[in-house]
């Protein structure tokens, strides 16, 4: 079950650096809120896939559900109720405001991950029926 895929590790680091750059230097209404959430799916997926030998569809679904969970916690102001505001990095990572657009960004990231993985592996998204 445990494995090490260095290519996915490098991708996870690259996505992490991109996320940091977005957080530090982008203060717009599209890249920071939407593209950052879209790319975080890739970051978490690549990180998980670096270390665990689990089918890529299961990993992608788990990552999507994790992102949905974090967004749902934002809806309920989890950071505030748990008193985590003083831990700046944790508060930034967990976020503080729920947005439906974030859910859309996570979903699009999930679909993109699946499309890329299917394409990379040369697999078909839906199996064709074979006739005899």
Separation of alpha carbons 61 and 40, rounded Å: 14
pLDDT at position 17, please? Answer: 96
Q: What is the pLDDT of residues 56-82, one digit of tens each?
A: 999 999 999 999 999 998 888 888 888
Q: What is the pLDDT of residues 98-121, one digit of tens each?
A: 889 999 999 999 999 999 999 998
Does residue 11 carry a pLDDT above 90? yes
Domain boundaries, the chain: 6-121
The b/e string for 69-90 (b: 16+ C-beta within 10 A; e otherwise) is: ebbebbeeebbeeeeeeeeeee
Q: What is the pLDDT of residues 24-49, one digit of tens each?
A: 898 898 998 899 999 999 999 999 99
pLDDT at position 127, please? Answer: 57
């Amino acid at each position: 079950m445990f494995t090490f895929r260095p290519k996915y590790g490098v991708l996870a680091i690259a996505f992490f650096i991109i996320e940091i750059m977005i957080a530090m230097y982008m203060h717009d209404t599209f890249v920071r809120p939407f593209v950052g959430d879209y790319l975080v799916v890739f970051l978490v997926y690549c990180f998980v896939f670096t270390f665990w030998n689990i089918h890529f569809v299961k990993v992608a679904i788990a990552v999507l559900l994790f992102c949905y969970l974090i967004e749902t916690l934002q809806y309920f102001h989890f950071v505030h109720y748990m008193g985590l505001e003083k831990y700046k990095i944790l508060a930034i990572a967990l976020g503080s405001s729920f947005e439906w657009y974030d859910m859309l960004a996570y979903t699009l990231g999930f679909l993109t991950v699946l499309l890329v993985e299917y394409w990379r592996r040369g697999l078909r998204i839906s199996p064709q029926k074979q006739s005899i």
